[in-house]
Amino acid sequence: MRVENEYGLPESRDLNKTDGFFGIARRDVLTPKGMVAIFTITNKDGSLVELSTLGAGINRIMVPDRDGRLTDVVLGYGNDADFLYDSPCAGKTPGRFANRIAKGEFILDGVKHVLTRNDGENSLHGGPDGFHNRIWDYEMLDRGVRFTYLSPEGEEGYPGNLRVSVTYRWNDDNSLDIGYEAETDAPTVVNLTNHAYFNLGGVGSGDILRHRLMINGSTRVESDLHDIPTGRILPVDGTPFDFRRPKEIGRDIFADFDNLRPGKGYNHYFFIDRLDRDEEVAPAASLYCDGSGIALDVETTMPGLMLYTGNWLAQSPAGRGGYTYSDHDGVAMECQFPPDAPNQDGFPSTVLRPGERYSRMIRYRFSRYGV
């Protein structure tokens, strides 16, 4: 039987372009929560990204290493259905509020809102049925896909009906642009990001401790043993958090400093240094793997990023090819607003009101060096 999508095209057919762009293919996967559409977008050089309606997520990115071999650089699972309710939130869009909100509650305009708690007494990534575990609607675009979701009033305790879109575009220069937009009919809070884990040596190549990382940030948020901000913004100078020049992730990861050792590594927020305070795209971080010769530059309009070094990946579902993940097999650089911002007066506001539009972006740009 011929199965067609809403564009009248058979499933998994390439949508050929005229500018060298190769096309988009779609396949469907049945999960316990329903049918999930997975899109593979291939550019003119054969590099590809795989996107999913489950959590508006990135399932895979393949780019060439210094020798031209396509390398799988994003952690994913051998079974596509395992992305549902996975603890690492691999590649997906957490929300309505990415990261943690202390004690699962906040006060907005004098009204206290109690959220679903799924991280001890705290709320993490919008709750257990946050955006990352929802199946989104989609629209196929030139070079990309736009995912949309309507989060109803009261979902996981959040106020307001929130309309959200996440738009991905995969370019011929091996850059992936991600645009986030949201509107609400009542005051609420919003914090969106992408939660991909990168290993530029290739999935299954081991840990990322020898990857070199640069973060364009001279200040970071202090956190307690439960990864909740204390409210203090501290300089990174002279500490294990100084990544202003590229250094190996593993150099200071187990230092007896703050909560690094009990947390098994970095799980910390850095403010991005900007020449101005507007919403222009700014460099956030760069990651290098000398083994593969692959580099990743991250740019964003977000105020900062969360560095998470995959400290608890050992219990993840099996990866592609049956690979068993270990702690630190991937690193996440989650461009976003600070954790617990609704409860911290000194942090940038995450409040969204009727008539306003939340609009932010992240760019992942892959390249080769040492060729």
Residue ranges of alpha helices (H) inside 145-272 are none
Question: Which H/E stretch holds residue 123?
Answer: strand 123-124
The rounded Cα 9 to chain-centroid distance in angstroms is 31
Measured distance CA(209)–CA(326) in Å, rounded: 12
- Residues 6+ away with beta carbon under 8 Å from 190: 95, 96, 97, 162, 182, 184, 350, 352, 358
The length of the chain, given as a count of residues: 371
Query: Strand, helix or coil at 252?
Result: coil
Please pick, among 125, 132, 183, 195, the residue that the annotation labels catalytic: 195
Tell me if residue 195 is catalytic.
Answer: yes
Q: 3-state DSSP call for residue 320?
A: helix
State the Cα–Cα distance between residues 249 and 245, nearest whole angstrom: 12
Return the SS3 of 159: coil
The catalytic position among 50, 156, 183, 334 is 334
CB within 8 Å of 320: residues ≥ 6 apart: 60, 72, 76, 77, 78, 203, 204
Q: Which helix (H) or strand (E) holds 207?
A: none
To the nearest 10°, report the CA torsion of 214, 216, 219, 224: -50
Identify whether 334 is a catalytic site residue: yes
Annotated catalytic sites, by residue?
195, 334
